[in-house]
Amino acid sequence: MKVSVVGAGRMGLPLACVIGKHGADVIACDINSELVNNINSGACPYEEPGLSELIRTLHAKGKLEAVTDTVKAVAESDVVIVIVPAHLTPSRDIDFSILQKASSEIGKGLKKNTLVIYETTVAVGGTRQSLIPYLEKESGLKAGEDFYVAYSPERVKANLVLSRLETTPKVVGGFNSESCAKAVAFYSEYLGAPVDDVGTIEAAEMTKLVGMLYRDVNIALANELASFCEIAGVDFERVRNSANTDGEANLLLPGIGVGGHCVPVYPYFVTRESRRLGITQRLSEAAREINDNQPERQLQRVISVWKSLKGEKVHMLGLGFRPGVKVDTFSSTYTLHNVLLKLGASVTVEDPYYSDPEIIQAGLQPGVIENVSVVVLSTAHLEYAEPDFNDWRRKGVQVVLDGRNLWNQKDVESVGLLYFGIGRSAKNEKRN
Protein backbone atom coordinates (compact mmCIF):
# COMPACT_ATOMS: atom_id res chain seq x y z
CA MET A 1 0.00 0.00 0.00
CA LYS A 2 1.39 3.39 -1.00
CA VAL A 3 -0.25 6.49 0.45
CA SER A 4 0.25 10.15 -0.40
CA VAL A 5 -0.67 12.72 2.23
CA VAL A 6 -1.10 16.10 0.57
CA GLY A 7 -0.27 18.74 3.17
CA ALA A 8 2.58 17.92 5.57
CA GLY A 9 1.46 20.38 8.23
CA ARG A 10 0.94 19.93 11.95
CA MET A 11 -1.90 17.46 11.34
CA GLY A 12 -0.91 16.00 7.99
CA LEU A 13 2.62 14.92 8.87
CA PRO A 14 1.69 13.07 12.10
CA LEU A 15 -1.13 11.34 10.20
CA ALA A 16 1.31 10.28 7.49
CA CYS A 17 3.67 8.92 10.13
CA VAL A 18 0.99 6.89 11.92
CA ILE A 19 -0.12 5.39 8.60
CA GLY A 20 3.52 4.52 7.93
CA LYS A 21 3.81 3.03 11.40
CA HIS A 22 0.95 0.69 10.49
CA GLY A 23 2.77 -0.61 7.43
CA ALA A 24 2.08 1.64 4.46
CA ASP A 25 4.74 3.37 2.36
CA VAL A 26 3.96 7.06 2.78
CA ILE A 27 4.74 10.14 0.70
CA ALA A 28 4.24 13.52 2.38
CA CYS A 29 3.51 16.16 -0.26
CA ASP A 30 4.00 19.85 0.44
CA ILE A 31 4.83 23.02 -1.48
CA ASN A 32 7.29 24.06 1.25
CA SER A 33 10.67 22.78 0.01
CA GLU A 34 12.41 23.50 3.33
CA LEU A 35 9.83 21.37 5.13
CA VAL A 36 10.27 18.60 2.57
CA ASN A 37 14.05 18.66 3.00
CA ASN A 38 13.73 18.47 6.78
CA ILE A 39 11.50 15.41 6.59
CA ASN A 40 13.80 13.70 4.09
CA SER A 41 16.74 14.24 6.44
CA GLY A 42 14.83 12.56 9.25
CA ALA A 43 14.30 15.83 11.13
CA CYS A 44 11.05 16.85 12.80
CA PRO A 45 9.82 20.30 11.72
CA TYR A 46 7.19 20.69 14.47
CA GLU A 47 7.00 20.48 18.23
CA GLU A 48 4.70 17.49 18.70
CA PRO A 49 5.29 14.86 21.41
CA GLY A 50 6.55 11.60 19.91
CA LEU A 51 6.70 12.84 16.33
CA SER A 52 10.47 13.31 16.16
CA GLU A 53 11.12 9.70 17.19
CA LEU A 54 8.52 8.35 14.78
CA ILE A 55 9.94 10.31 11.85
CA ARG A 56 13.45 9.00 12.58
CA THR A 57 12.19 5.43 12.77
CA LEU A 58 10.22 5.63 9.51
CA HIS A 59 13.08 7.44 7.79
CA ALA A 60 15.52 4.70 8.79
CA LYS A 61 13.12 2.03 7.47
CA GLY A 62 12.52 3.86 4.20
CA LYS A 63 8.77 4.08 4.91
CA LEU A 64 8.47 7.88 4.71
CA GLU A 65 9.57 10.34 2.08
CA ALA A 66 8.56 13.89 1.29
CA VAL A 67 8.18 15.58 -2.09
CA THR A 68 7.06 18.85 -3.63
CA ASP A 69 5.80 17.07 -6.78
CA THR A 70 2.26 16.11 -5.80
CA VAL A 71 1.33 14.99 -9.31
CA LYS A 72 4.07 12.35 -9.42
CA ALA A 73 3.35 11.16 -5.87
CA VAL A 74 -0.36 10.73 -6.61
CA ALA A 75 0.42 8.77 -9.76
CA GLU A 76 2.32 6.26 -7.63
CA SER A 77 -0.29 5.99 -4.86
CA ASP A 78 -3.21 3.74 -4.02
CA VAL A 79 -4.66 6.21 -1.53
CA VAL A 80 -4.41 10.01 -1.44
CA ILE A 81 -5.30 11.95 1.72
CA VAL A 82 -5.84 15.70 1.46
CA ILE A 83 -5.25 17.80 4.58
CA VAL A 84 -4.41 21.34 3.46
CA PRO A 85 -5.89 24.53 4.97
CA ALA A 86 -9.28 26.12 4.31
CA HIS A 87 -9.39 29.72 5.53
CA LEU A 88 -12.07 32.38 5.76
CA THR A 89 -12.68 35.04 3.15
CA PRO A 90 -12.98 38.68 4.33
CA SER A 91 -16.77 38.13 4.39
CA ARG A 92 -16.24 35.04 6.59
CA ASP A 93 -17.19 32.48 3.98
CA ILE A 94 -15.03 29.41 3.48
CA ASP A 95 -12.10 29.98 1.14
CA PHE A 96 -11.67 26.84 -0.97
CA SER A 97 -8.75 28.18 -3.02
CA ILE A 98 -5.95 26.15 -1.43
CA LEU A 99 -8.04 22.98 -1.45
CA GLN A 100 -9.04 23.51 -5.06
CA LYS A 101 -5.44 24.07 -6.14
CA ALA A 102 -4.41 20.88 -4.34
CA SER A 103 -7.34 19.00 -5.92
CA SER A 104 -6.24 20.13 -9.39
CA GLU A 105 -2.71 18.83 -8.77
CA ILE A 106 -4.10 15.55 -7.46
CA GLY A 107 -6.35 15.26 -10.52
CA LYS A 108 -3.36 15.58 -12.85
CA GLY A 109 -1.78 12.47 -11.35
CA LEU A 110 -4.95 10.54 -10.52
CA LYS A 111 -5.26 7.03 -11.92
CA LYS A 112 -8.15 4.59 -11.94
CA ASN A 113 -9.20 2.88 -8.71
CA THR A 114 -7.38 5.37 -6.48
CA LEU A 115 -9.09 6.33 -3.23
CA VAL A 116 -9.03 10.07 -2.46
CA ILE A 117 -9.91 11.09 1.10
CA TYR A 118 -10.41 14.69 2.21
CA GLU A 119 -9.70 15.46 5.88
CA THR A 120 -9.79 19.28 5.83
CA THR A 121 -12.83 20.73 7.58
CA VAL A 122 -15.20 22.23 4.99
CA ALA A 123 -18.77 23.44 4.72
CA VAL A 124 -21.42 20.77 4.26
CA GLY A 125 -21.53 19.88 0.58
CA GLY A 126 -18.14 21.43 -0.02
CA THR A 127 -16.31 18.23 -0.95
CA ARG A 128 -18.92 17.09 -3.47
CA GLN A 129 -19.69 20.48 -4.99
CA SER A 130 -16.43 22.42 -4.78
CA LEU A 131 -13.58 19.86 -4.78
CA ILE A 132 -14.50 16.64 -6.60
CA PRO A 133 -15.16 18.55 -9.87
CA TYR A 134 -11.48 19.58 -9.88
CA LEU A 135 -10.41 15.94 -9.56
CA GLU A 136 -12.69 14.94 -12.42
CA LYS A 137 -11.74 17.85 -14.68
CA GLU A 138 -7.97 17.31 -14.45
CA SER A 139 -8.06 13.50 -14.54
CA GLY A 140 -10.79 12.95 -17.09
CA LEU A 141 -12.10 10.27 -14.73
CA LYS A 142 -15.48 9.93 -13.05
CA ALA A 143 -15.84 9.88 -9.26
CA GLY A 144 -17.56 6.78 -7.96
CA GLU A 145 -16.89 4.92 -11.19
CA ASP A 146 -13.22 5.33 -12.10
CA PHE A 147 -11.94 6.42 -8.69
CA TYR A 148 -13.28 6.64 -5.16
CA VAL A 149 -13.78 9.63 -2.87
CA ALA A 150 -14.44 9.80 0.86
CA TYR A 151 -14.42 12.40 3.58
CA SER A 152 -13.02 11.84 7.06
CA PRO A 153 -12.55 14.93 9.24
CA GLU A 154 -9.38 15.51 11.24
CA ARG A 155 -10.47 15.43 14.91
CA VAL A 156 -7.30 15.75 17.01
CA LYS A 157 -5.38 18.72 18.40
CA ALA A 158 -1.82 20.00 18.58
CA ASN A 159 0.40 18.42 21.26
CA LEU A 160 -2.03 15.48 21.49
CA VAL A 161 -2.03 14.33 17.87
CA LEU A 162 -0.15 11.05 18.17
CA SER A 163 -1.79 10.11 21.45
CA ARG A 164 -5.26 10.50 19.94
CA LEU A 165 -4.97 9.50 16.28
CA GLU A 166 -5.17 5.81 17.12
CA THR A 167 -7.93 6.15 19.73
CA THR A 168 -10.32 8.88 18.54
CA PRO A 169 -13.08 7.29 16.41
CA LYS A 170 -12.45 8.00 12.72
CA VAL A 171 -15.64 9.36 11.18
CA VAL A 172 -15.98 8.31 7.52
CA GLY A 173 -18.47 9.12 4.79
CA GLY A 174 -18.28 8.30 1.09
CA PHE A 175 -19.22 9.67 -2.33
CA ASN A 176 -21.06 6.39 -2.75
CA SER A 177 -21.23 3.10 -0.83
CA GLU A 178 -18.17 1.66 -2.59
CA SER A 179 -16.10 4.72 -1.73
CA CYS A 180 -17.21 4.58 1.88
CA ALA A 181 -16.41 0.89 2.20
CA LYS A 182 -12.90 1.38 0.81
CA ALA A 183 -12.22 4.27 3.21
CA VAL A 184 -13.49 2.27 6.19
CA ALA A 185 -11.23 -0.65 5.23
CA PHE A 186 -8.23 1.63 4.75
CA TYR A 187 -8.47 3.42 8.09
CA SER A 188 -9.24 0.19 9.92
CA GLU A 189 -5.99 -1.35 8.71
CA TYR A 190 -3.64 1.61 8.52
CA LEU A 191 -4.72 3.91 11.34
CA GLY A 192 -5.90 1.54 14.05
CA ALA A 193 -8.60 3.82 15.47
CA PRO A 194 -12.23 2.72 15.72
CA VAL A 195 -14.03 3.67 12.49
CA ASP A 196 -17.45 5.33 12.58
CA ASP A 197 -19.17 4.92 9.20
CA VAL A 198 -21.75 7.72 8.89
CA GLY A 199 -22.52 6.90 5.25
CA THR A 200 -22.29 10.04 3.16
CA ILE A 201 -19.67 12.71 2.66
CA GLU A 202 -22.12 15.35 3.85
CA ALA A 203 -22.85 13.51 7.10
CA ALA A 204 -19.12 13.25 7.82
CA GLU A 205 -18.63 16.95 7.05
CA MET A 206 -21.47 17.89 9.39
CA THR A 207 -20.15 15.64 12.17
CA LYS A 208 -17.00 17.75 12.48
CA LEU A 209 -18.88 21.03 12.30
CA VAL A 210 -21.43 19.99 14.92
CA GLY A 211 -18.61 19.29 17.36
CA MET A 212 -17.12 22.74 16.82
CA LEU A 213 -20.49 24.48 17.07
CA TYR A 214 -21.19 22.68 20.34
CA ARG A 215 -17.94 23.95 21.81
CA ASP A 216 -18.49 27.48 20.60
CA VAL A 217 -22.06 27.69 21.91
CA ASN A 218 -21.11 26.05 25.22
CA ILE A 219 -18.19 28.43 25.76
CA ALA A 220 -20.43 31.38 24.87
CA LEU A 221 -22.97 30.21 27.43
CA ALA A 222 -20.22 29.97 30.05
CA ASN A 223 -18.97 33.46 29.12
CA GLU A 224 -22.46 34.91 29.35
CA LEU A 225 -23.19 33.29 32.72
CA ALA A 226 -19.76 34.38 33.95
CA SER A 227 -20.55 37.99 33.02
CA PHE A 228 -23.62 37.83 35.26
CA CYS A 229 -21.60 36.36 38.12
CA GLU A 230 -19.05 39.18 37.84
CA ILE A 231 -21.77 41.67 38.72
CA ALA A 232 -23.74 39.43 41.10
CA GLY A 233 -20.73 38.73 43.28
CA VAL A 234 -20.74 34.97 42.63
CA ASP A 235 -17.63 32.95 41.74
CA PHE A 236 -18.75 31.30 38.49
CA GLU A 237 -15.96 28.70 38.54
CA ARG A 238 -17.16 27.35 41.88
CA VAL A 239 -20.75 27.29 40.61
CA ARG A 240 -19.76 25.70 37.29
CA ASN A 241 -17.97 22.84 39.01
CA SER A 242 -20.98 22.16 41.23
CA ALA A 243 -23.48 22.40 38.38
CA ASN A 244 -21.51 19.80 36.41
CA THR A 245 -21.79 17.17 39.17
CA ASP A 246 -25.38 16.08 38.48
CA GLY A 247 -24.67 14.35 35.18
CA GLU A 248 -27.02 16.69 33.32
CA ALA A 249 -24.78 19.73 32.76
CA ASN A 250 -21.37 19.96 31.11
CA LEU A 251 -20.50 23.64 31.17
CA LEU A 252 -17.13 24.40 29.61
CA LEU A 253 -14.65 26.99 30.86
CA PRO A 254 -15.22 30.69 30.23
CA GLY A 255 -12.24 32.78 29.19
CA ILE A 256 -10.92 36.00 27.76
CA GLY A 257 -11.34 34.71 24.20
CA VAL A 258 -11.47 31.67 21.93
CA GLY A 259 -8.54 30.92 19.63
CA GLY A 260 -7.13 28.18 17.43
CA HIS A 261 -7.69 26.83 13.93
CA CYS A 262 -11.16 25.45 14.61
CA VAL A 263 -13.66 27.10 16.94
CA PRO A 264 -13.21 30.71 15.72
CA VAL A 265 -13.52 29.57 12.07
CA TYR A 266 -15.67 26.51 11.46
CA PRO A 267 -18.98 27.81 12.87
CA TYR A 268 -19.04 30.27 9.97
CA PHE A 269 -19.02 27.33 7.55
CA VAL A 270 -22.47 26.46 8.91
CA THR A 271 -23.93 29.89 9.63
CA ARG A 272 -23.06 31.36 6.21
CA GLU A 273 -24.32 28.33 4.28
CA SER A 274 -27.42 28.19 6.44
CA ARG A 275 -28.28 31.80 5.60
CA ARG A 276 -27.92 31.01 1.90
CA LEU A 277 -30.45 28.23 2.41
CA GLY A 278 -32.83 30.62 4.14
CA ILE A 279 -32.36 29.30 7.68
CA THR A 280 -30.67 31.42 10.34
CA GLN A 281 -28.60 29.61 12.96
CA ARG A 282 -29.46 32.16 15.63
CA LEU A 283 -27.81 30.41 18.56
CA SER A 284 -24.57 29.76 16.69
CA GLU A 285 -24.41 33.31 15.36
CA ALA A 286 -24.99 34.73 18.83
CA ALA A 287 -22.29 32.45 20.26
CA ARG A 288 -19.74 33.72 17.75
CA GLU A 289 -20.63 37.30 18.59
CA ILE A 290 -20.35 36.68 22.35
CA ASN A 291 -16.98 34.94 22.06
CA ASP A 292 -15.58 37.44 19.56
CA ASN A 293 -16.53 40.32 21.88
CA GLN A 294 -15.11 38.75 25.03
CA PRO A 295 -11.62 40.34 24.87
CA GLU A 296 -12.99 43.87 24.57
CA ARG A 297 -15.69 43.27 27.19
CA GLN A 298 -13.11 42.19 29.74
CA LEU A 299 -10.93 45.24 29.07
CA GLN A 300 -13.97 47.48 29.46
CA ARG A 301 -14.51 45.96 32.92
CA VAL A 302 -11.06 47.18 33.89
CA ILE A 303 -11.85 50.66 32.62
CA SER A 304 -15.22 50.83 34.40
CA VAL A 305 -13.75 49.87 37.79
CA TRP A 306 -10.21 51.29 37.55
CA LYS A 307 -9.65 54.00 34.96
CA SER A 308 -8.99 54.65 31.30
CA LEU A 309 -6.21 52.63 29.72
CA LYS A 310 -5.12 55.57 27.58
CA GLY A 311 -1.41 56.14 28.10
CA GLU A 312 -1.06 53.04 30.31
CA LYS A 313 1.58 50.36 29.75
CA VAL A 314 0.06 46.90 29.49
CA HIS A 315 2.00 43.65 29.47
CA MET A 316 0.43 40.47 28.09
CA LEU A 317 1.36 36.94 29.09
CA GLY A 318 0.99 34.40 26.33
CA LEU A 319 0.78 34.32 22.54
CA GLY A 320 -0.14 30.67 21.94
CA PHE A 321 -3.87 30.08 21.60
CA ARG A 322 -3.84 27.42 24.34
CA PRO A 323 -1.48 26.29 27.11
CA GLY A 324 1.71 24.45 26.23
CA VAL A 325 1.33 24.96 22.48
CA LYS A 326 3.42 27.03 20.11
CA VAL A 327 0.52 27.79 17.78
CA ASP A 328 -0.98 31.28 17.71
CA THR A 329 -3.68 30.95 15.05
CA PHE A 330 -6.54 33.30 15.97
CA SER A 331 -5.01 33.70 19.42
CA SER A 332 -6.97 36.01 21.71
CA THR A 333 -3.71 37.87 22.24
CA TYR A 334 -4.06 39.49 18.82
CA THR A 335 -7.56 40.75 19.52
CA LEU A 336 -6.58 41.98 22.98
CA HIS A 337 -3.55 43.73 21.50
CA ASN A 338 -5.63 45.51 18.87
CA VAL A 339 -8.27 46.61 21.37
CA LEU A 340 -5.63 47.88 23.79
CA LEU A 341 -4.02 49.96 21.04
CA LYS A 342 -7.44 51.34 20.13
CA LEU A 343 -7.91 52.30 23.78
CA GLY A 344 -4.63 54.20 23.73
CA ALA A 345 -2.44 51.78 25.69
CA SER A 346 1.10 50.70 24.83
CA VAL A 347 1.44 46.91 24.78
CA THR A 348 4.21 44.36 25.24
CA VAL A 349 3.95 40.56 24.97
CA GLU A 350 5.90 37.56 26.21
CA ASP A 351 5.50 33.83 25.77
CA PRO A 352 7.91 31.09 26.97
CA TYR A 353 7.53 29.27 23.65
CA TYR A 354 8.31 32.28 21.44
CA SER A 355 11.58 34.19 21.05
CA ASP A 356 11.59 37.98 20.87
CA PRO A 357 12.22 37.90 17.08
CA GLU A 358 9.24 35.55 16.66
CA ILE A 359 7.03 37.91 18.67
CA ILE A 360 8.19 40.80 16.49
CA GLN A 361 7.50 38.73 13.38
CA ALA A 362 3.95 38.25 14.69
CA GLY A 363 3.53 42.03 14.66
CA LEU A 364 3.81 42.45 18.44
CA GLN A 365 6.29 44.13 20.78
CA PRO A 366 8.23 41.82 23.11
CA GLY A 367 8.83 42.86 26.70
CA VAL A 368 8.83 41.89 30.37
CA ILE A 369 6.99 43.01 33.49
CA GLU A 370 8.85 46.22 34.26
CA ASN A 371 7.28 49.63 34.68
CA VAL A 372 3.88 48.41 33.46
CA SER A 373 0.60 49.19 35.22
CA VAL A 374 -1.54 46.31 33.91
CA VAL A 375 -0.78 42.62 33.38
CA VAL A 376 -3.14 40.57 31.21
CA LEU A 377 -2.98 36.77 31.19
CA SER A 378 -4.05 35.54 27.76
CA THR A 379 -2.60 32.01 27.80
CA ALA A 380 -2.51 29.79 30.88
CA HIS A 381 0.95 28.32 30.30
CA LEU A 382 2.20 26.34 33.30
CA GLU A 383 5.17 28.68 33.38
CA TYR A 384 2.81 31.41 34.60
CA ALA A 385 1.17 29.36 37.35
CA GLU A 386 3.09 30.79 40.34
CA PRO A 387 4.19 34.39 39.75
CA ASP A 388 5.60 36.63 42.44
CA PHE A 389 2.79 39.16 42.83
CA ASN A 390 4.80 41.14 45.38
CA ASP A 391 7.54 41.55 42.81
CA TRP A 392 4.98 42.68 40.25
CA ARG A 393 3.72 45.31 42.66
CA ARG A 394 7.26 46.57 43.29
CA LYS A 395 7.71 46.89 39.52
CA GLY A 396 4.69 49.16 39.19
CA VAL A 397 1.85 46.75 38.42
CA GLN A 398 -1.51 47.94 39.73
CA VAL A 399 -4.04 45.77 37.89
CA VAL A 400 -4.16 42.08 36.97
CA LEU A 401 -6.61 40.75 34.36
CA ASP A 402 -6.55 36.97 34.77
CA GLY A 403 -8.08 35.92 31.48
CA ARG A 404 -7.92 32.20 32.27
CA ASN A 405 -8.62 32.16 36.03
CA LEU A 406 -5.18 30.70 36.62
CA TRP A 407 -4.49 32.50 39.89
CA ASN A 408 -6.05 32.71 43.32
CA GLN A 409 -7.87 36.00 43.61
CA LYS A 410 -7.05 36.43 47.31
CA ASP A 411 -3.33 35.91 46.65
CA VAL A 412 -3.34 38.70 44.08
CA GLU A 413 -5.41 41.09 46.17
CA SER A 414 -3.42 40.43 49.33
CA VAL A 415 -0.45 42.35 47.92
CA GLY A 416 -2.62 45.33 46.97
CA LEU A 417 -3.26 44.56 43.30
CA LEU A 418 -6.67 45.02 41.71
CA TYR A 419 -7.78 41.64 40.36
CA PHE A 420 -10.18 40.85 37.51
CA GLY A 421 -11.06 37.23 36.71
CA ILE A 422 -13.57 35.70 34.33
CA GLY A 423 -16.78 35.21 36.30
CA ARG A 424 -15.17 36.68 39.42
CA SER A 425 -16.04 40.09 40.86
CA ALA A 426 -13.32 42.67 41.21
CA LYS A 427 -13.32 45.00 44.20
CA ASN A 428 -15.82 47.82 43.74
CA GLU A 429 -17.42 46.11 40.71
CA LYS A 430 -21.01 47.25 41.08
CA ARG A 431 -24.39 45.97 39.99
CA ASN A 432 -25.87 48.11 37.23
Residue-wise pLDDT for 66-77, tens only, equals 999 999 999 999
User: What is residue 36's predicted lDDT score, i.e. its pLDDT?
Assistant: 97
User: What is residue 365's predicted lDDT score, i.e. its pLDDT?
Assistant: 98
161 Cβ contact partners less than 8 Å away, ≥ 6 residues apart: 10, 11, 14, 15, 48, 51
- 111 has a pLDDT exceeding 80: yes
Q: How confident is the model at residue 343 (pLDDT cuts 50, 70, 90)?
A: very high
Q: Which domains does the chain have, with CATH numbers?
A: 2-193 (3.40.50.720), 224-421 (3.40.50.720)
Among the listed residues 53, 102, 52, the one whose alpha carbon sits nearest the alpha carbon of residue 82: 102
Query: CA-to-CA distance for 32 and 37, rounded, in angstroms?
Result: 9
**Contact between 310 and 346 (Cβ < 8 Å):** no
Q: How confident is the model at residue 431 (pLDDT cuts 50, 70, 90)?
A: low
Mean pLDDT of 93-99: 96
Query: CA-to-CA distance for 381 and 351, rounded, in angstroms?
Result: 8
Q: For 371-394, how does the pLDDT look when each residue is reduced to its tens digit (9 = 90+)?
A: 999 999 999 999 999 999 999 999
Q: How confident is the model at residue 20 (pLDDT cuts 50, 70, 90)?
A: very high
Q: For 21-61, how does the pLDDT look when each residue is reduced to its tens digit (9 = 90+)?
A: 999 999 999 999 999 999 999 999 998 999 999 999 999 99
User: What is residue 429's predicted lDDT score, i.e. its pLDDT?
Assistant: 84
- 432 has a pLDDT exceeding 70: no
Torsions phi, psi of 93, nearest 5? -95, 165
C-alpha dihedral over 5, 9, 10, 15, to 10 degrees? 0
- 312 has a pLDDT exceeding 60: yes
Output the DSSP codes for 357-395.
Answer: HHHHHTT--B--SSS-SEEEE-S--GGGSS--HHHHHHT
- 330 has a pLDDT exceeding 70: yes
- pTM of structure: 0.93
CA dihedral sign, ordered 206, 207, 211, 217:
positive
Give the CA angle between residues 136, 141, 146 to the nearest 5°: 125
